[in-house]
Structures are given as structure tokens and as C-alpha cells.
Amino acid sequence: MAPVVQEKVARLEEIPPFAGFLFHDVEPDPELLDRRILDAAGEALAGVEPWTAVAIEATLKRLCERTVYAPIRVAVTGSKVSPGLYESLELLGRERALERLGHGAEVAA
């Protein structure tokens, strides 16, 4: 824990609020949780071996591609296969991209 926490805190007294989740149960705000994403993450992570940050990161990135990027890609390009998502959004332009995501009226001036 020390090397990970050391990068984020300046004083010892900052450790308990920052890394306390390692030592006691947590009670997250239910309003901040999305059950679909948590279920998908649980399923994906259950098969991770070895349980290392590198393997966990790779698994969660694949999950994000499926659960977040894939629907955005389809909404914006009409296909599951397209040029890079970020580049596609840029080329399409803010207004058209947001319209395709269902937020056309929310485009900032």
C-alpha cells in the first residue's frame, strides 16, 4: 500500500481518509452507483488471473470498450466498427455528435 499511497498524500494524517477503504467496510452513496456497470465489472473481474493491477486494468479497459465506447460508437457512426472514436467525434463536429448522442439541445454556444 505504501508506494501507491505515498504518491497521493503529503502527510501521514492524510492516509486514513485516503486509504481507509483497505481497513474497514465502506458505505457508498447508492445514488453514485450504476448496478449494470457494477454487475458487468464483477463478472469481468471474477476471471482475472493473476490479480495484479496490470491484469485488472486490461480487463476493465475491455469492459469499458464494450459497455461505454461501443454504444457511443454505434450512436455516432451507425456501426460497431469505425475509425478511432475520438477522431470520429472530432471530425463529425460537436453539434452533430451531440445530436446523435441524444443531446442536441444541450450544445454549448
pLDDT digits (tens, 9 = 90+) for 43-63: 999 999 999 999 999 999 999
Q: How confident is the model at residue 106 (pLDDT cuts 50, 70, 90)?
A: low
* Angle formed by the axes of helices 35-46 and 53-64, nearest 10°: 130
Residue 45 in grid coordinates: 473481474
In a domain, 68, yes or no: yes
The per-residue DSSP string of 12-77 comes to GGGHHHHHGGGTS-----GGG--HHHHHHHHHHHHT-SS--HHHHHHHHHHHHIIIIIHHHHHHHH
pLDDT digits (tens, 9 = 90+) for 55-85: 999 999 999 999 999 999 999 999 999 899 9
In a domain, 65, yes or no: yes
pTM of the entire structure? Answer: 0.72
User: What is the tally of structural domains in the chain?
Assistant: 1
Q: List the domain range (segments joined by +) for residue 97.
A: 52-109
In a domain, 86, yes or no: yes
pLDDT digits (tens, 9 = 90+) for 4-50: 888 888 888 888 888 888 889 999 999 999 999 999 999 999 999 99
Given a cut of 60, whether residue 3 has pLDDT beyond it is yes
In a domain, 9, yes or no: no
**Residue 109: its pLDDT value, please?**
46
Residue type, 46: A
Q: Cα dihedral sign for 31, 95, 75, 69? A: negative
The CATH number of residue 69's host domain is: 1.10.10.350
